[in-house]
Amino acid sequence: MPLPKITPQQAHKMLSEGAILLDIREADEYARAHIDGARHLPLSKLDAADLRVQHGMPVIFHCRSGARTAGNAPRLAAKVGGSCDAFIVDGGLDAWRKAGLPVVTDRRQPLELQRQVQIGAGSLAFFGTLLGLLVSPWFLAVPLFVGAGLMTAGITGFCGMARLLVHMPWNRAIYQPQI
């Protein structure tokens, strides 16, 4: 069941009238930037969440670009269970910003984990290739290893680099060690 899309301006107006805004991004994304007043309900914890909404109050879901909310619209609609009207912010947080609406940003928070992985993997591949061309062909093993890791992450959903980055000191405030 697709949820209707609304513009950021429509969502902003609905929020001023009491609608509930739910941010479905993960904790690292939410900590770095979010819409003031948005409740945090990560998509990864949606099934276990107890989503209680006030009867008759619309619920508005959003993510960064709108793709995650649109792709998970049936799950989100099922979670609301028809107890109220539910919508998706078309274009998500990116469109909200572009519309000039206020966003709470905390640049002291680390970059999103996915971006950290992209920076790390890209840097290793770039410098490994550069060193392989200029210093020794043995350095070409580095981008080979990174490529294999990225393929493994894409196929299995397991990303070793992300697992390592979660434990870095700059990420400890967001991620709790899982035992």
For residue 179, pLDDT beyond 50: no
Q: pTM for the complete prediction?
A: 0.72
The catalytic position among 20, 35, 63, 165 is: 63
pLDDT tens digits for range 7-43: 999 999 999 998 999 999 988 889 889 999 899 999 8
For residue 178, pLDDT beyond 50: no
Write out the CATH class of domain 5-105.
alpha beta
Q: 88 in helix, strand or coil?
A: strand
Helices and strands, counts by H and E, the chain: 8, 7
Backbone angles phi, psi at 45, to 5 degrees: -115, 10
Q: Is 24:63 a contact under the CB 8 Å cutoff?
A: yes
**84 catalytic, yes or no?**
no
Task: Give the E-state strand segments of 28-126 in sequence order.
Answer: 33-34, 39-40, 59-62, 86-89, 104-105
